[in-house]
Chains A and B, each alone.
Chain A
Amino acid sequence: MVGEISDAIIRVRDITVQFGKTRILDGLNLDVKRGEILGFVGPSGAGKSVLTRTIIGLVPKVAGRIEVFGVDLDKASTAERRGVERRWGVLFQQGALFSSLTVRQNIQFPVREYLNLSQRLLDEVMVAKLGMVGLKPEVADRFPSELSGGMIKRVALARALALDPELVFLDEPTSGLDPIGAGDFDELVRTLQRTLGLTVFMVTHDLDSLYTACDRIAVLGNGKIIAAGSIADMQASQHPWLQQYFHGKRARAVMG
């Protein structure tokens, strides 16, 4: 289903993940190309988040191989692995901001760990990152509990971008945002992808995001990728779930 792509930034081969006796992913293959925004869809509970978490190494797999930036994550030494981790950023579904640190400290935290920078530069770049995700410098000294849901997502994105990663994983970035906020967020992801040359792996349920932000779409079902391609390919697909997803009531509303 997925052909070999030479400039793949993530290469997932025959991944199997199971919890107890339930098999979540069953011999899954997926490639993510450098510089694209890949939208990842599938029914609830199909294992979209599990695949994301498997790639970033939070869920152990039973079999298969994962290469990120050409590094096989199973064979990589600790130093190599840290090198890869420094080049990606992750936006968790609930933001996962450190609740006892301010916005400023949250964004500066990874930078401070990996790089030796002056406080002035740290502060200035922090303001630049906040600007990039559409927030004012005034929020820098607030705590996560004092932010709205949309702001938490933006701050979390700023933190994911703090080290100028080449690859970002976004787990349902627009869930829980109002349609305007979600639209802004899609636009933001697009802009950042252009300016920073990012590759984006986005798990989403939002049809609008798929239409406006994604270059390519992969669909998960029965533990495998059942389809991958452009939005036009998806609409042309005969798969029953895809038919329902892209030709259902909501899809027609989006396509207007």
Chain B
Amino acid sequence: MSADPTLERIAQGNGLALCAAGSWTARFAPVLEKMVADAEKLRGSRPNIFIDVSQVSKLDTFGAWLIERLRRSLTEGGIEAKIAGLSANYSSLVDEVRRVKAEPVVQARSVTITGMLEQIGRSVAGVGGTLVGLIEMLGAVLAAAGHVLIRPRGFRLTSTVHHLEQVCWRAVPIVVLITFLIGCIIAQQGIFHFRQFGADIFVVDMLGVLVLREIGVLLVAIMVAGRSGSAYTAELGSMKMREEIDALRTMGFDPIEVLILPRMLALVMALPILAFLGAMAALYGGGLVAYLYGGVEPEAFLLRLRDAISINHFIVGLIKAPVMAAVIGIVACVEGLAVQGSAESLGQHTTSSVVKGIFLVIVMDGVFAIFFASIGM
């Protein structure tokens, strides 16, 4: 059955018979292609060429196509090449293949310098588009919030509480653990370096200011962007892919109000809570290391902390939290709604949701630092 395929040339008068034999199947395709390419060179050499396939033991679409390819290129020589000896089993297959139109359009996408420049240009132009998209979403969310304020029955409490559980309650263990460890590390490093000047106790000042003003909220915001921002994008994106968002729209619901507003609210409430818990955990971790590693008694630590930091540091940290939450939420929702039909697109948008979210959070933090410095807080 699976004899090696052959293509013999037998002269008949002034004609030529190409006798195909053996199994013309995909398994032998590389050999077959070479044989067919050789035989194609015979084009026009004889007044009469035909292909005899009576000895073919097995034929599939690949083999049938190669015979058809040979027939076509021989026919290009001017004389119609015929296929002879076709068994009834295979004739319908060969007929089917014969109906295939000529060469498929193969598009070659080569990498050129202009192409690369074009790509860069498009990316830069895309930045503007992204900003406009974010502002649009912010506007839409605020409009939806206003709408809900006027007509409170439209507010989705259950959904908000569900998302609050997802992004806040369930995030507590990991946020507390990571901020605790960061607090430990800051304290250890501080003590190690300050000790050279005999200034161990100043580690409390550093820890307090750093944790309450910057690290606490920034670190938690980054974690939330990675944990919840990506989840929002993936949820909304797969709903978009499966036309669920279109379905909502046709039923007269506003997807912003139904899907995005509860998520945004949950996130805006969750981040200050998480930032507060994170700051406490970091202070606790720092205090623990100061006691165990630096020999700073807990009473001394607390006393020093009260002198070193004012309520302003704490307020500065907490003011930033909801704003950062809003930025993360808006980026995640814009990316989620931008997902196209493919799984790849979902992955790309989830990635860019997290990347853009973290980037914007850090930019916001810088802006806040300048702002608070100039108002003297």
Interface residues of A (CB under 8 A from B): 98-100, 111, 115-118, 121, 123-129, 131-132, 137-138, 140-141, 143-146, 163-164, 191, 194-197
Q: Scan B68-99; emit 1 where CB is below 8 A from any A CB, else 0.
A: 01000000000000000000010011011101
* Cβ distance B220 to chain A, nearest Cβ, rounded Å: 34
Of the A-B pairs whose beta carbons lie under 8 Å apart in the complex, a sample of 14, sorted by A's number, is: A117-B26, A117-B29, A117-B30, A118-B30, A121-B29, A121-B65, A125-B65, A126-B104, A129-B61, A131-B101, A137-B104, A145-B340, A164-B62, A195-B92
| B141-149, B264-272, B341-349 - interface stretch | B341-349
Residues of A contacting B342 in the complex (Cβ-Cβ under 8 angstroms): 99-100, 143-145
Quick check: B93 and A127 within 8 Å, CB to CB?
no
Quick check: A124 and B92 within 8 Å, CB to CB?
no
Does any Cβ of A come within 8 Å of B205's Cβ? Answer: no
Quick check: A131 and B61 within 8 Å, CB to CB?
no
Quick one: given A125-B62, A164-B60, A195-B92, are A145 and B341 in contact (CB under 8 Å)? yes
Quick check: A127 and B100 within 8 Å, CB to CB?
yes
The CA of A131 and the CA of B101, in the complex, are separated in Å by: 8
B62 interface neighbour in A99, A121, A144, A194, Cβ under 8 Å = A121
Does any Cβ of A come within 8 Å of B251's Cβ? Answer: no
Quick one: given A144-B342, A145-B340, are A131 and B29 in contact (CB under 8 Å)? no
How many B residues have CB within 8 A of the partner chain?
33
Interface residues of B (CB under 8 A from A): 25-27, 29-30, 33, 60-62, 65-66, 69, 89, 92-93, 95-97, 99-101, 103-107, 241, 340-345
Quick check: B106 and A132 within 8 Å, CB to CB?
no
Query: With contacts defined as CB atoms under 8 Å apart, how many contacts are there between chain A and chain B in the complex?
Result: 85
Residue of B nearest to A192 (CB): B96
Residues of A contacting B105 in the complex (Cβ-Cβ under 8 angstroms): 137-138, 140
Quick check: B26 and A128 within 8 Å, CB to CB?
no
A123 interface neighbour in B62, B66, B104, B345, Cβ under 8 Å = B104
Quick one: given A125-B61, A125-B62, are A116 and B30 in contact (CB under 8 Å)? yes
Residues of B contacting A140 in the complex (Cβ-Cβ under 8 angstroms): 104-105
The CA of A195 and the CA of B65, in the complex, are separated in Å by: 14
The CA of A195 and the CA of B66, in the complex, are separated in Å by: 17
Quick check: B344 and A164 within 8 Å, CB to CB?
no
B341 interface neighbour in A121, A129, A146, Cβ under 8 Å = A146
Residues of B contacting A197 in the complex (Cβ-Cβ under 8 angstroms): 89
Residues of B contacting A144 in the complex (Cβ-Cβ under 8 angstroms): 341-342
The CA of A191 and the CA of B345, in the complex, are separated in Å by: 37
Residue of B nearest to A123 (CB): B104
The CA of A132 and the CA of B344, in the complex, are separated in Å by: 29
The CA of A125 and the CA of B341, in the complex, are separated in Å by: 27
* Cβ distance B70 to chain A, nearest Cβ, rounded Å: 12
The CA of A9 and the CA of B308, in the complex, are separated in Å by: 83
Residues of A contacting B93 in the complex (Cβ-Cβ under 8 angstroms): 195-196
The CA of A194 and the CA of B343, in the complex, are separated in Å by: 36
Quick check: B104 and A100 within 8 Å, CB to CB?
no
Quick one: given A123-B104, A124-B104, A195-B93, are A115 and B65 in contact (CB under 8 Å)? no
Residues of B contacting A117 in the complex (Cβ-Cβ under 8 angstroms): 26, 29-30, 62
Quick check: A163 and B26 within 8 Å, CB to CB?
yes
Quick check: B343 and A100 within 8 Å, CB to CB?
yes
Q: Which of A125, A163, A194 has the most CB of B within 10 A?
A: A125
Quick one: given A117-B30, A163-B26, are A128 and B61 in contact (CB under 8 Å)? yes
Quick check: B96 and A123 within 8 Å, CB to CB?
no
Quick check: A128 and B97 within 8 Å, CB to CB?
yes
* Cβ distance B91 to chain A, nearest Cβ, rounded Å: 9
* Cβ distance A200 to chain B, nearest Cβ, rounded Å: 16
Quick check: B33 and A118 within 8 Å, CB to CB?
yes
Residue of A nearest to B343 (CB): A99
Residue of A nearest to B61 (CB): A164
For the complex of A and B, 10 pairs with smallest distance between CB atoms: A145-B341, A100-B344, A99-B342, A164-B60, A195-B92, A127-B104, A100-B342, A128-B100, A195-B93, A99-B343
Residues of A contacting B106 in the complex (Cβ-Cβ under 8 angstroms): 123
Residues of B contacting A196 in the complex (Cβ-Cβ under 8 angstroms): 60-61, 93
The CA of A137 and the CA of B99, in the complex, are separated in Å by: 12
Residues of B contacting A195 in the complex (Cβ-Cβ under 8 angstroms): 92-93, 95-96
Residues of A contacting B62 in the complex (Cβ-Cβ under 8 angstroms): 117, 121, 125, 164
The CA of A125 and the CA of B97, in the complex, are separated in Å by: 9
Quick check: A164 and B101 within 8 Å, CB to CB?
no
Quick check: A128 and B65 within 8 Å, CB to CB?
yes
Residues of A contacting B344 in the complex (Cβ-Cβ under 8 angstroms): 99-100
* Cβ distance B121 to chain A, nearest Cβ, rounded Å: 24
Residues of B contacting A124 in the complex (Cβ-Cβ under 8 angstroms): 65, 69, 100, 103-104
Residues of A contacting B103 in the complex (Cβ-Cβ under 8 angstroms): 124
A131 interface neighbour in B27, B69, B100, B107, Cβ under 8 Å = B100
Residues of B contacting A141 in the complex (Cβ-Cβ under 8 angstroms): 107
The CA of A115 and the CA of B27, in the complex, are separated in Å by: 7
Quick check: A121 and B92 within 8 Å, CB to CB?
no
> 17 new A-B pairs (CB below 8 Å) besides A100-B344, A117-B26, A127-B100?
A99-B342, A115-B27, A115-B29, A116-B30, A117-B30, A118-B30, A118-B33, A121-B62, A124-B69, A125-B62, A128-B61, A131-B99, A144-B342, A191-B96, A195-B92, A195-B93, A196-B61
Residues of A contacting B25 in the complex (Cβ-Cβ under 8 angstroms): 164
The CA of A164 and the CA of B23, in the complex, are separated in Å by: 14
The CA of A195 and the CA of B345, in the complex, are separated in Å by: 39
The CA of A123 and the CA of B103, in the complex, are separated in Å by: 9
The CA of A73 and the CA of B69, in the complex, are separated in Å by: 39
